[in-house]
């Protein structure tokens, strides 16, 4: 229930917060709630992933992409992610989630999501995702066309470029 309320709050907030361009950062503020905790009394590692959904949701809403993909019956899908936890978050602590698009390939979008408390990084995650529709995956160029974006992808950070390369080396079907 907590995540549904937070999701609704992000949705409502999108009407009152400034719109974002596609490469802007979404910044959301949260507090650690009792049901975010694990048995060690700090925020559960799975909860970080759920909160990251809210950052991506905010980005999609505030860029205006949501209305356009909903009309086409497209959905964003996370294919993979990796995260590094640096510091714990405890009950009641305030933190921010910064979400931004790093770049894209023909098929994949790559995002960075950073949890910040008191201007220090708590956790940093990288996410690889795409959009799917009734006919399958949607090329990034089609998604960008919906937002009238004609720019090339920013250069991907070395770690992300290596991730793309490793995925291509291990692909057995459609050349990730």
The CATH number of domain 22-170 is 3.90.25.10: no
d(CA 110, CA 157): 10
Residue bearing the bigger pLDDT, 167 or 145 = 145
Residue bearing the bigger pLDDT, 20 or 176 = 20
Q: What is the pLDDT of residues 153-174, one digit of tens each?
A: 999 999 898 888 877 655 444 5
How wide is the angle at C-alpha 103 spanned by C-alphas 128 and 131, nearest 5°? 50
- For the entire predicted model, the pTM comes to 0.91
Q: What are the residue ranges spanned by the domains of the chain? A: 22-170
Q: What is the pLDDT of residues 7-42, one digit of tens each?
A: 999 999 999 999 999 999 999 999 999 999 999 999
Q: What is the pLDDT of residues 71-117, one digit of tens each?
A: 999 999 999 999 999 999 999 999 999 999 999 999 999 999 999 99
Question: What are the C-alpha distances in Å from 40 to residues 37, 51, 89, 144, 171?
Answer: 8, 19, 11, 43, 38
């Amino acid at each position: 229930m907590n995540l549904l309320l937070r999701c609704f709050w992000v949705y409502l907030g999108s009407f009152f917060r400034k719109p974002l361009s596609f490469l802007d950062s979404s910044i959301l503020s949260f507090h650690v709630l009792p049901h975010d905790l694990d048995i060690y009394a700090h925020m559960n590692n799975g909860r970080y992933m759920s909160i990251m959904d809210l950052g991506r949701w905010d980005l999609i809403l505030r860029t205006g992409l949501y209305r356009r993909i909903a009309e086409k019956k497209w959905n964003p899908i996370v294919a993979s992610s990796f995260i590094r936890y640096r510091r714990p978050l405890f009950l009641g602590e305030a933190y921010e989630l910064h979400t931004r698009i790093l770049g894209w390939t023909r098929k994949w979008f790559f995002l960075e999501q950073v949890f910040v408390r008191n201007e220090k990084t708590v956790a940093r995650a990288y996410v690889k995702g795409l959009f799917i529709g009734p006919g399958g995956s949607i090329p990034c160029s089609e998604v960008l066309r919906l937002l009238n974006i004609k720019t090339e992808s920013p250069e991907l950070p070395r770690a992300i470029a290596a991730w793309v390369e490793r995925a291509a080396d291990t692909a057995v079907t459609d050349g990730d």
